[in-house]
Amino acid sequence: MNTAIIILAAGLGTRMRSGTPKVLNSLLGRPLLQYVIDASKKCGVKRIITVTNPGHPEVIDLIKANRIEHTVQKRPLGTADAVKEALRYMDGFRGGLMIVNGDTPLISPRMLKRLITRHAKAKCDLSLISFNAKDPFSYGRIVRDEQGSPIGIVEEKDLKGGLKKIKEVNSGVYIIGSKAAKLISRIKKNSGKGEYYLTDLVSLSSRAGLDVKVFNIGSEEEFFGINSMAELAKAQRLVQDEIISSFMKKGVMFHDPSSVMVHGDVKIGAGSVIYPGVYIEGSSVIGKDSIIYPGVRIVDSKVGNGTSVLDNSLIEGSVIGEGSSIGPSARLRPGSETGKRVKIGNYVEMKSSKIADGSKASHLSYIGDAIIGKNVNIGAGTITCNYDGRKKHRTVIEDDVFIGSDTQLIAPVKIGKGAFIAAGSTITRDVPRKALAISRSRQKEMRNWKIKSRKGNK
């Protein structure tokens, strides 16, 4: 069947009480609308058109990035008006029009395909998905006649008598055939909100003698719509539980799944252990048999096999070699890369630097814009002074170098292979291979200074 999908994304989202357009609010690092676009793309439909609000250019930017079509609903006059705008844009399209909402991120391609298949098999004029809600409050109820045929959708505020007991509700996902599409222009403005509701199409089509089918195949969780921050948090937990459950089936241990956040594009190897309070975001990859301790945040980074990331460390845009140890309380900024068996200890910060196999910086150091070789020891309090106030400069430390504590390396500078830098030195020139570099003022002792000082203060 020739089908196009219309994604309704023009809502103002006033109940979100956020300056961000509702469909751009983030769920595990991705906009709500992106979930719906991804599900739509996997259905094999001919076209995808998103209806947007003119006051939300950033929504249009997301749509363009996904290379799908869009049109604008100039005034917020309801769902039926949004569909009419899409129909004007699609003038000449022949086929079924699937309607989905841009604020339902849990919707699956499988469910959308099921509706397409059932609609085509039934050869009906209008079809939609329904589900049975535990608490149907706020949902539009599916009203059927004595023979079980759908005759309308009644909103919560309009329910009377026995209608309040109905548990079958509207999912908001339709397929509209050409005959039913012609009736959209006959939908009347709702007197309460002054909007045109697409739900009225069911009763219009039924009265017109069209074949309307409601397929009760949905689940409440899958069609969960986001209208508030509380609902966004609930949806995020549902998605998160599914992601973590999938990892646990593959052999990843989570000590407290409810306290962890793992984004959908993250990969974690079997045998790894994730402690409470861990955030793994973006497209991060955690290798096999690694341990991520409490309070760690990893963003768009790769952690090698058998690596430990200790408590309260932050890793962003970095690559960690296998068998390494990071932290506790370390920070790796974007562009950091370590080899195998590297130790980056407590209160060490790296930025745009590479450290080769077997090297270590165990305490209280800053390593920025540096290239560090193998088996190098960086003493506590060492700083690569990479910025002169105008531009950044590179520090190069070759293999087997020992850097004593409290050393300042004033870039650009190169430390040759096997060299030693004495503690407390400020290095401003290149150091030859295997040399010992010392840069200190001579120590002096002033005898009886404390006694004389006290006498002077009397």
Give the active site residues. 363
Task: Compute how many other C-beta atoms are within 10 angstroms of the C-beta atom of residue 395.
Answer: 23
Cα separation values, 452 from 443, 444, 448, 457, Å = 20, 17, 6, 9
Rounded Cα gap, residues 404 and 423, in angstroms? 4
In contact, 394 and 412? CB cutoff 8 Å: yes
Reduced to 3 states, what is the DSSP secondary structure of residue 186? helix
Task: Compute how many other C-beta atoms are within 10 angstroms of the C-beta atom of residue 145.
Answer: 10
| Strand residues in 39-167 grouped as ranges (E) | 47-52, 69-72, 96-101, 126-132, 141-144, 150-154
Q: Are strands 150-154 and 212-216 parallel, antiparallel or unpaired?
A: unpaired
Phi-psi map region of 251: left, alpha, beta (phi>0 left; psi -120 to 50 alpha): left
Q: Which two tokens stand for residue 215?
A: 């397929």
Torsion sign, CA atoms 154, 160, 164, 167: negative
Q: Which two tokens stand for residue 350?
A: 């790296």
